[in-house]
């Protein structure tokens, strides 16, 4: 039987500590909340009261419930107030020497049977535990911010943590209404180890001026459904905190360059650009602590035209797959004349049938009138010959992801299409420049990477090569606006924005399972509940297809030659075994029995 905790103590009443106090008090536990000074104690109490008052204002807590909750909390200065509690959770800043001093003092103050827990997100729980005479009773309890809302707690056991202590803390998490994942003491645990490599890489894109901050954040929100873009999230976390976490993970985690803090982060910290808390980070805020972003010198102007591009009326789409069909639908619904070219009448008939099925679904769901459906279908001309693209204004290629096929197609388009036509490829991973130099008009070639399903997804990556003209980029962006899509402009580098950030994160998750650090289920829970991701990495890998994921990861590694990008052997083995994900009913999970 797990022990019953009657009282708990919380050391440190910053945003996280105050949130943890609230979590325990909401569950009916008596809490002693401790700070170093009266001023710090007052700030912590104000933070907690503010959170409770907002809950009352939103109708999520009654005034009586708030008052009863506050009665369960005792605020005190100094660790001596914790002599009788059953559990102490430390939530002070991420400095090892500070935490070790606190745990050494707690060891003297607390009763012998008390469990001592740290909320560290990146430091070694083992190194903290050895500052006490009871390392077997020390454990990590990593809550996520905001603690009253986020469901996940990472329970971190060291090599000497007693199994009884682990069992007791797991039961306590259940009582708190939290989902726990129990893991061993490794740099970054699950969530931060996966999250901060991704955040660090996003900063490197800004540092290299590969894409703007707005475009990077929009790409990950619209392309992956994430609740926040990586740079806005860095500002929320605090750049100083992010730097400390990355630096710790780099030093503790085998010096993986993915976690070596990008120099720009240290420069911004030194300059006092810490994010929301200082009023300026990657974005500028209304005032320190405010979430309201205001325009600054880096904010793009809003002078871009939002009408239809006057030089684009007729569009050719080459291809017969799902993506080609979706792109045809997008253009036809937006009022463009479309010429669909496939490799034969039979394939054209299949594309036509899929298009009608999709449009009919729109009618059934009330998103499209029958008149609009019929008009869209009427705008499409079906062909099996590239020669019918001789009078179009834009060609969008959506054929198989094989460079030789695409290059041959672009060479043919160069001969057939009239001068000034924009030639676009929808490749998700291949170099756009390779398609461009297959023509005599590389300035007119651009990437238009739609996301699947094209009629639903709001993002298009506009990829410019070193030969693409400004006029071509502007026309491509204007076309996206006419399609009601959000265009993000980036340079021609493997993975562009979304895949370059997404797939190394997925690969890192596979490496965790490969190393037997955690299970696919726990990692998925950690990223969904701890970071608010719509899908866990293994759910997403199985949906995308392990073969597709492996191909993209290989392209990233071959271009960037970053050791951390090398495809995980486990991913390669699963693909070799034919476990490709949902499409074959077996990937990281077996779907045949579901």
DSSP-based three-state secondary structure for 116? strand
Q: Which of 94, 173, 105, 98 is nearest to 141 (CA)?
A: 173
Smallest CA-to-CA distance from 329 within 498, 484, 548 is with 484
Residue 154 a catalytic site member = yes
User: What does the block give as tokens for 461?
Assistant: 């990556």
DSSP 566: S
The catalytic position among 142, 259, 449, 486 is: 142
C-beta separation of 574 from 546 below 8 A: yes
- Is residue 142 among the annotated active site residues? yes
* Full 3-state SS string of 268-298: HHHCCCCEHHHCECCCEECCCCCCCEECCCC
SS3 annotation, 413-437: HHHHCCCCCEEEECCCCCCHHHHHC
- Asked if residues 155 and 125 have their Cβ atoms less than 8 Å apart, the reply is no
Residues 6 or more apart in contact with residue 327 via CB below 8 angstroms: 317, 396, 398, 426, 450, 454
**Known active-site residue 402:** no
For residues 580 and 543, what is the distance between their CA atoms, to the nearest angstrom? 9
What are phi and psi for residue 474, nearest 5 degrees?
-65, -40
From CA 174, how far away is CA 166, in angstroms rounded? 13
Question: Pick from 81, 154, 168: which is nearest to 120 by CA?
Answer: 154
b/e burial code for range 303-333 (CB count within 10 A of at least 16 → b): eeeeebbeebebbbbbbbbebbbbbbbbbbb
Give the residue from 177, 163, 183, 20 showing the smallest Cα distance to 89. 20
CB 2 within 8 A of CB 168: yes
30, 51, 119, 121: which is the annotated catalytic residue?
121
For tokens 């000074």, name the residue: 37
Which one is catalytic: 30, 192, 518, 549?
Answer: 192
Q: Strands 138-143 and 87-90: what pairing? A: unpaired
Say which residues have a Cβ less than 8 Å from residue 71's Cβ, sequence separation at least 6: none
Angle between helix 213-224 and helix 191-207 axes, rounded to 10 deg:
140
Residue 589 to residue 523: CA distance in whole angstroms: 13
Catalytic residue among 154, 329, 397, 461: 154
**Catalytic residue positions?**
121, 142, 154, 192
């Amino acid at each position: 039987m797990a022990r019953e905790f009657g009282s708990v103590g919380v050391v440190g009443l910053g945003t996280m500590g105050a949130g943890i106090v609230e979590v325990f008090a909401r569950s009916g536990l008596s809490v002693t909340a401790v700070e170093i000074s009266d001023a710090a104690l007052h700030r912590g109490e104000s933070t907690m009261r503010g959170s409770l008052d907002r809950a009352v204002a939103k109708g999520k807590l009654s005034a009586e419930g708030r008052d009863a909750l506050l009665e369960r909390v005792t605020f005190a200065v100094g660790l001596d107030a914790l002599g009788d509690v059953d559990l102490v959770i430390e939530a002070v800043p991420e400095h090892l020497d500070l935490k070790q001093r606190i745990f050494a003092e707690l060891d003297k103050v607390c009763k012998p049977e008390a469990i001592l827990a740290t909320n560290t997100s990146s430091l070694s729980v083992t190194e903290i535990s050895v500052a006490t005479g009871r390392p077997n009773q020390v454990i990590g309890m990593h809550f996520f911010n905001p603690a009253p809302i986020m469901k996940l707690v990472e329970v971190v056991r060291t090599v000497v943590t007693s199994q009884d202590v682990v069992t007791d803390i797991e039961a306590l998490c259940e009582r708190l209404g939290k989902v726990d994942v129990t893991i061993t003491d490794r740099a970054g645990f699950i969530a931060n180890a996966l999250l901060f490599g991704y955040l660090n890489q996003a900063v490197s894109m800004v540092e290299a001026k590969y894409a703007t901050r707005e475009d990077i954040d929009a790409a990950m929100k619209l392309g992956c459904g994430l609740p926040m873009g990586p740079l806005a999230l860095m500002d929320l976390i605090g750049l100083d905190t992010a730097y400390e976490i990355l630096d710790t993970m780099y030093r503790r985690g085998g010096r993986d360059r993915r976690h070596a803090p990008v120099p720009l982060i240290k420069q911004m910290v030194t300059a006092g650009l810490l994010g929301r808390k200082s009023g300026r980070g990657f974005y500028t805020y209304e005032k320190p602590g405010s979430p309201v972003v205001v325009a600054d010198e880096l904010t793009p102007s809003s002078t871009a035209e939002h009408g239809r591009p006057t030089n684009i009326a007729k569009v050719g789409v080459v291809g017969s797959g799902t993506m080609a069909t979706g792109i045809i639908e997008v253009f036809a619904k937006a009022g463009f004349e479309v010429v669909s070219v496939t490799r034969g009448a039979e394939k054209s008939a299949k594309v036509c049938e899929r298009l009608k099925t999709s449009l009919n679904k729109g009618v059934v769901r009330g998103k499209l009138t029958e008149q609009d459906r019929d008009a869209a279908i009427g705008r499409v001309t079906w062909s099996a010959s590239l020669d019918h693209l001789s009078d179009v204004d834009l060609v969008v290629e959506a054929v198989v992801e094989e460079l030789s096929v695409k290059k041959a197609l672009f060479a043919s388009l160069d001969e057939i299409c009239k001068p000034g036509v924009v030639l676009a490829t929808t490749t998700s991973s291949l170099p756009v420049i390779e398609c461009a130099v297959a023509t005599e008009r590389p300035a007119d070639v651009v990437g238009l990477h739609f996301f699947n399903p094209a009629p639903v997804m709001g993002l298009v990556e506009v990829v410019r090569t070193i030969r693409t003209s400004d006029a071509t980029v502007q026309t491509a962006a204007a076309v996206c606006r006419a399609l009601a899509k959000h265009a993000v402009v980036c340079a021609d580098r493997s993975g562009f924005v979304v895949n370059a950030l997404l797939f190394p994160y997925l690969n890192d998750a596979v490496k965790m399972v490969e190393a037997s650090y955690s299970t696919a289920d726990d990692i998925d829970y950690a990223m969904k509940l701890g970071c608010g991701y719509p899908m866990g990495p293994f759910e997403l890998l199985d949906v995308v297809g392990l073969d597709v994921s492996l191909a993209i990861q290989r392209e990233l590694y071959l271009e960037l030659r970053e050791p951390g990008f090398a495809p995980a052997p486990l991913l390669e083995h699963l693909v070799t075994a034919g476990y490709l994900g949902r499409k074959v009913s077996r990937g990281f999970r077996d779907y045949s029995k579901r």
